[in-house]
Structure 1
Amino acid sequence: MGAFAKHRLFDRQDITGTLSDKEMDETSGIAASSISPDTYYVHNDSGDTSRFFAITAGGKLKSTIYFKGDSTHKLGVQDCEDIDVGPGPQKGKSYVYLGDIGDNAQNRPYITVYRMAEKKSWAAGDATNVNTEAVRADFKYPDGPKDAETMMIDPIAQQLIIVSKRGDTVAVYTTPLKYKANTTTVLTKRCKLYFEGFKPFKWITAGDISKDGQQILLKSYDKVYYWRRQHNEPIWETMIRKPQELNYKVEKQGEAIGFQPDGKGYYTTSEGVFSPIYHYDVPN
């Protein structure tokens, strides 16, 4: 099964600001808070410790959130590549999911996702440092190790979605959000997607699902792909259809994309110190 992007829609773009703190130097994911207005979570990829950042849409740092990662690794994490916000084990509560899923050598025996209950206090600070509890779960691919930079939460089906990065085609994997903590779960492979273009520019580096579960974004280094869900169908059935190709200003190393809370637009940003944050409208 494959998806082919052909239609480019030129939508308005704005720079809302820049990442204001030099600690945010290899940003690889962005996700909107579900409980605090004008609050987005970003994180660095490999080489950083077990932490992420709460910022405004303009890039101002609100707080740095630290958690206890894997004690067998010096930094607590290996290669965090995406972040999302969604439901979790306790009904009515919002959770942040941080995906330690990068695997450039494609030889990790498992990948790890950290789940943390979202707190309003994270948005109330002014460049403050806070600590939070994280629940860890490990996952394996059914067909061997993969490099991935895209992790999304499907709020309708209550599933965790991972999309592999490399290759002529990429694969979509899922697992229920009701996974058991501190265990290793085998992901379910759902489909393959094909995108036109040349490697490595066509590799998939980020994605997001809107908070109502009705819109999906994936991005490569030079394109953004967009789908609308139909009748609450399984997310992979949406993604095997032809996506729309949206306007995107190619960034230095763009590996982060996330919807705004109401789903009417989305943000992208890039690795690099003081990187700009771009905002785009979604198609009507």
Structure 2
Amino acid sequence: MIYFKVILRLCFALFHLVGNVHMYSIVKRQVPNFQWYQAGHVTSHKITEASGLAASRKHPGAIYTHNDHGGAAEIYVINALTGEKEATLTISGVTSNDWEDIALGKCHPDPNSGFCIYIGDFGNSGKGALNNIYRVTEPDDLSSQTIHVGSNDKLEFSWNFDDCETLMVDPSANLFIISKVSNGHGTIAQLPNSAWGSSSRVSLSSTAVVNIESGSNDPVGGDISPNGNEVLVKTHHNIYYWNLHGSNDYLATLQTPGTKLAYKDEPQGEAVCWDATGLGYYTLSEGQDQILYHYVK
């Protein structure tokens, strides 16, 4: 009887081991493989410190970008195939202390909602972070124009960190930010879609920490895929990837180890976004005459 129990335990242990290996192989197969190519050159003298990217949902082939600290309150429309600047969106009614990231998603949780560009003015330019987020509706046409931001489209928040460079929006118009810290283990906080229109600063508290490794002040950018199921977080020298498998729990998912994806190291790469299809992503470095990279499966 003793030998029989020992054999049963060994069989159970072997079954458990094989099962884990099988599950690990499934997870590994679910990580997509991307190849990069040069989509174009961003030669505009106006774009010298590109800090964020967002792919238009309304205008196929258009990408929004902006400069960080010291830059004007402007969003630049670039051609995804050439990198050429096609228009300038001047944003009025806002500050431009240190815009560090932008994101694109639904303006409201209503399924019939249009799309908005979200702007994160929360970087530490040396004068301290303002911790403001603005949203503007994607324009009907992409000619150069001025877009005014009213009080209902300004979200002010407070938290215990003095620097942030990552702004993401899910399909329900909830926002997620990640603090920028020396080891990359930034704190992840959610700003719910109900936070807009508050008459006072929204106080954020979170114990969730993004599970990446870095020897620099990171992360510097991120994006949620159009379908909400995949997440990218960028450090200075890597791009990390997560698949939610339909859970919609971004805070829990980002605390699991991220998987490194293909990345062509850039001089000072901070900007990353999914393309409009969600099948690939773009990166762009700060600096003059930089290459716009497109990564595809």
Residue type of the partner of 2:66? H
Match of 2:84 among 60, 64, 67: 60
Q: Which residue of structure 2 aligns with residue 140 of structure 1?
A: 158
Q: Deviation at 1:10?
A: 6.2
Q: Distance in 2 between matches of 1:106 and 1:236?
A: 30
Residue type of the partner of 2:166? T
Measured against aligned partners, the alpha-carbon deviations of 1:129-168 in whole angstroms (never above 9, x if no partner) come to 3101223221111xx2321110000114x31100111133
Answer yes or no: is 1:163 the counterpart of 2:204. no
Match of 1:83 among 90, 102, 122: 102
Q: Deviation at 1:106?
A: 8.3
Q: Share of identical aligned residues, percent?
A: 28
2:182/2:215 contact within 8 Å kept:
no
Counterparts in 2 of 1:92-111, with a 5 A limit?
Answer: 92-105=113-126, 107-108=128-129, 110-111=130-131
Q: Distance in 2 between matches of 1:116 and 1:173?
A: 22
Q: Deviation at 1:195?
A: 2.6
Q: Deviation at 1:104?
A: 4.9
1:106/1:145 contact within 8 Å kept:
no
Structure 1 unaligned regions, length at least 5: 1-6, 71-75
Residue type of the partner of 1:111? N
Structure 2 unaligned regions, length at least 5: 1-27
Match of 2:216 among 190, 196, 199: 199
Q: Deviation at 1:199?
A: 2.6
Match of 1:121 among 131, 134, 141: 141
Structure with larger Rg: 2
Residue type of the partner of 1:98? I
Q: Which residue of structure 2 aligns with residue 29 of structure 1?
A: 52
Query: Which moved further from structure 2: 226-235 or 39-48?
Result: 226-235
Q: Secondary structure at the match of 2:210?
A: strand
Counterparts in 2 of 1:133-282, with a 5 A limit?
Answer: 133-134=148-149, 135-141=153-159, 144-156=160-172, 158-168=173-183, 169-181=185-197, 183-200=200-217, 203-282=218-297
Measured against aligned partners, the alpha-carbon deviations of 1:22-66 in whole angstroms (never above 9, x if no partner) come to 100000000011111101100000011111111111211121001
Considering fraction of residues, name the structure with more helix. 2
Q: Distance in 2 between matches of 1:197 and 1:145?
A: 18
Residue type of the partner of 1:54? V
Q: Distance in 2 between matches of 1:107 and 1:92?
A: 34
Q: Which residue of structure 2 aligns with residue 13 of structure 1?
A: 36
- The verdict on how the C-alpha distance between 1:175 and 1:68 changes in structure 2, with shifts beyond 3 A counting, is same
User: How large is the RMSD of aligned CA atoms in angstroms?
Assistant: 2.0
Measured against aligned partners, the alpha-carbon deviations of 1:110-131 in whole angstroms (never above 9, x if no partner) come to 4111110111212xx3xxx310
Residue type of the partner of 1:152? M
Q: Secondary structure at the match of 2:253?
A: helix
Counterparts in 2 of 1:35-50, with a 5 A limit?
Answer: 35-50=58-73
Question: TM-score by structure 1 length?
Answer: 0.85
Question: TM-score by structure 2 length?
Answer: 0.82
1:175/1:188 contact within 8 Å kept:
no
